[in-house]
Each structure stands twice: as structure tokens, then as C-alpha cells.
Amino acid sequence: MQEPVNDYGVVILADTAEHEKCARWLSVRFRECNIPSKIITSIGRAGTDWRVFELSPYRRTLKLEADMYFSEPDVVMDWFKMLQDENIWVCQDVVDYRGNIITDRKFRKHLDVNNLPNLYNAVTYFRRCNEANRFFNKLKQVYKNWHELELREWHQAEPDQDTAYAVTTALLDIKFKPLPIHFCHMKGKLNGCLRNEWTKELVWEWDAGLRINTYQQRYPTHYYVKEFLDYE
């Protein structure tokens, strides 16, 4: 386990060249605000991200997915303050580009029928402690033994990260505190589009940040379509 070099910081996971490009762009945003950040390129996809606990150089870590845009990067400092008493925490609600909490369950029916928590691992916080260590060790076991689990309404050979985090949380009987920490999830079908590539159906512009269909994006944006960076 890496010795911490700072009290807090952001870790961005990037296991492909495409994700690394996104991660570099995101890291620059934090650097402009003097917020410590580190890109870890050896892990990221489901099955490997449990290693973030041992690889993070911070005592308190905010783990982010690479394909995110922060119009106001210093919002993470507010998040660190809200999370200062938590050992581990995972985001539970996301918004659409209009700023409304997403309630559509088309991609999450398997969580509902299996009584699993609604989690979005794209924003995950943990501190260097036994509880977080136990969580990521259990997550490792969930990935390793996935084929022994029998989840209703799950039709894929491997888990996605949100589902693996949800199973881990349920097995450990963890109840995350509801906190006003959200991000905009730009999977197209969650935003009224006919397909998930929202860039084919919605309009956007860079005007004092990011504006989508005239809506200024106040929340961090998980832009989902990796090619979105090519338009910046």
C-alpha cells in the first residue's frame, strides 16, 4: 500500500488511451484550482478498480471516473467538507442536464428487483481506514466470485461497476448517508434522447462553462460519450 503524500486529493482512473485523454483534461481543471489530483492508469474497468484503495496516495480520496467535466472544480472542496466524517461513501443520485434528479429505472431494474442500493461509483469517497479497506477487499471478492451470484434481471456475463458496488454495499450492510453530492449523467436515454449518444441529438456550447440545450451545467457532468472532448 502506497504511503500517503497528502491529506486529501482526487484520483482519476484511466485504463485505456481514450480514458487517459479524458483524465488528463479533467486533471488540468483541478490543477488550475490547486486541488491535488492523480491519474492512475493501471486500473479502471470493472474487476480492477478495487485496487484504488491501495494505490491512492491520499489519506482521504475522492475517486472520479475520467469522462467528467467540472465547470467549477473547487466544488470538490465542498464535498470533502461534507464527507469529512465518513469512512466510505458512494453517490446515490444523479441529475439530467436540466438539473432534475433522474428517476428513470430502465437501466436499473436489476437493482430494484434484487433490493440493491442505487449507487453511482463515478463519485466515490474513502479515507485510509479499516472500514474502507474492508469494502474494497469485499469488492475484490464480488468480482472474483461473480458467477456464483444469482441476480434476477441480470443478463450479462460480467458485472458493471455500479452493480458490483451495490452488491458489495448490501453484503456489508452499509447505509450511506444521503448528501447533496450529485453529478449530471449524460447517458442519452436518461435525458430524453432516442439513443445514448446524446451529442447526436442535443446541442451544446462552451459559454462560461458548458451549456446543453440552453441549460447551464451547474453540476459536474459525466459526459459519457468519450468523443465529446473532440468538440471542446
Smallest CA-to-CA distance from 56 within 19, 22, 6 is with: 6
62 lies in some domain: yes
The pLDDT value given to residue 221: 97
Q: Are 114 and 200 in contact (CB under 8 A)?
A: no
pLDDT in tens, the chain (232 residues): 666 668 999 999 998 999 999 999 999 999 999 999 999 998 776 678 999 999 999 999 999 999 999 999 999 999 999 999 999 999 999 999 999 999 999 899 999 999 999 999 999 999 999 999 999 999 999 999 998 988 888 878 888 999 999 999 999 999 999 999 999 999 999 999 999 999 999 999 988 889 999 999 999 999 999 888 775 5
Q: For residue 11, give the C-alpha cell.
A: 484520483
Domain assignment of residue 49, given as a range = 6-231
Cross-sheet strand order for the sheet of 37-40: 37-40, 6-13, 58-65, 120-127, 88-91
What is the Cα–Cα distance from 177 to 88, expressed in whole angstroms? 10
User: What's the pTM?
Assistant: 0.94
SS3 210: strand
226 lies in some domain: yes
Q: In angstroms, what is the C-alpha Rg of the chain?
A: 17
1 lies in some domain: no
The pLDDT value given to residue 201: 96
SS3 228: helix
197 lies in some domain: yes
CATH number at residue 174: 3.90.550
53 lies in some domain: yes
pLDDT in tens, 44-79: 766 789 999 999 999 999 999 999 999 999 999 999
